[in-house]
Amino acid sequence: MTETLGFWVAAVVLVAASLAVVLTPNLFHAVLWLAAALVATGGVFLLLDSPFLFGVQLLLYAGGVVTIVVFAIMLTERLVGESIRQTSRFVFNGAVLAAAVFVGILGFLLQAGAVTRPAAVGDQLGDLGRALVGPFAAPLQLLGVLLVIALLGALYFARAED
């Protein structure tokens, strides 16, 4: 019962926040709405018995990404000297296409049968940790490399002009 309630709350918040992200004219507000959507997503993760991912979501996404975007917006606004309004183009076309894709996906979902939810695993975090250093050790290392490269790349792009 709590799960159902939680889901609906999270779902409504998530959808509403998402819509706000794509519709708000103010870019800064959009970022804040994104933070809300990300937190709601974290709630969904909680509902799916993944508290660890919830933590990661809050820390990295809601914390990291939103911070970076806010920085970027502030930086560009400082450069341009005015608050950036964002406008939309071809709203109708975009809505139709997005709706069409949604209907397409829905068609798939309707065809699929129901799946029962298995019982929750006891030590999910432990299993996750073992999997990361076990079978997924190599991708994890590659991921680390990727992050370093991304960091260097971002630094390179954003460096001050000589």
Partner 1 sequence: MPLHAYLVLAALVFVIGLFGVLTRRNAVGILLGIELMLNAVNINLVAFSRFRADLAGLIFTLFTIAITVAEVAVGLAIVIVIFRVRRTIEADHLDLLRG
Partner 2 sequence: MRIGSPELALLVLALPFASFLAIGLIRPLRRRGRPAAAVSILAMAGAFLTAGAMSWQGIPVARGLNPAVLWTWLPADGGPMASVGVWVDGMAMQMCVLVTLVSLLVQVYSWSYLADEPPPSLGRYYAYQSLFAFSMLGLVLSPGFLQMFVFWELVGLCSYLLIGYWYDRPSAAQAAVKAFWITKLGDLGFVAGIVMLWSGTGTFDFWPLFQAAEGGALHVDGLTTIMFLIYLGAVGKSAQFPLHVWLPDAMEGPTPVSALIHAATMVTAGVYMVARAYPLFALVPSVLTLIAWVGAFTALLAATMACVERDIKRVLAYSTVSQLGYMMAANGAGAPEAAFQHLTTHGVFKALLFLGAGIVIHHFHTNDVFRMGGLFGQRPWVGGSFLVATLALAGVWPLPGFFSKEAVLAGVLHAHLSVPFLMLLATSFLTAFYMFRVVFLAFFGHAPVHHEHPEPPVAMDAVCRALAVLTLALGLRAAVASHHVEGPAWLPWISLTWAFAGIALAWATYQAGRLDPARLAAAFAPIDFLARRRYFLDDIYGGTYRLLLLGLSRVVGWVDRYVVDGVLNALSAGALRAGDALRRIQTGQPQDYVYGVALGVLLLLVWAQLG
Binders of partner 2 among residues 106 to 135 (CB under 8 A) are 107-108, 111
CB of 128 to partner 1, least distance (A): 6
Identified binder of partner 2 from the candidate list 98, 140, 142, 148, rule CB under 8 A: 98
The 77-96 site mask, x for binding partner 2 (CB under 8 A), equals: ------------x---x---
Give the residues across from 85 on adjacent strands. Answer: 26
End-to-end Cα separation, the chain, in angstroms: 61
Distance between CA atoms of 143 and 134, rounded to whole angstroms? 15
Cβ burial of 55 (10 Å; 0-12, 13-18, 19+) is middle
CB of 95 to partner 1, least distance (A): 6
Identified binder of partner 2 from the candidate list 100, 125, 131, 143, rule CB under 8 A: 100
Q: Which stretch binds partner 2 (CB under 8 A): 35-43, 59-67, 105-113, 119-127?
A: 105-113
Cβ burial of 42 (10 Å; 0-12, 13-18, 19+) is buried
Beta carbon nearer to partner 2, 108 or 157:
108
- Interface with partner 1 includes 91 (CB under 8 A)? yes
| DSSP state string for 120-156 | PPTTHHHHHHHHHHTTTHHHHHHHHHHHHHHHHHHHH
Number of residues located near partner 1, criterion CB under 8 A = 83
Residues binding partner 2 (CB under 8 A): 89, 93, 97-98, 100-101, 104-105, 107-108, 111
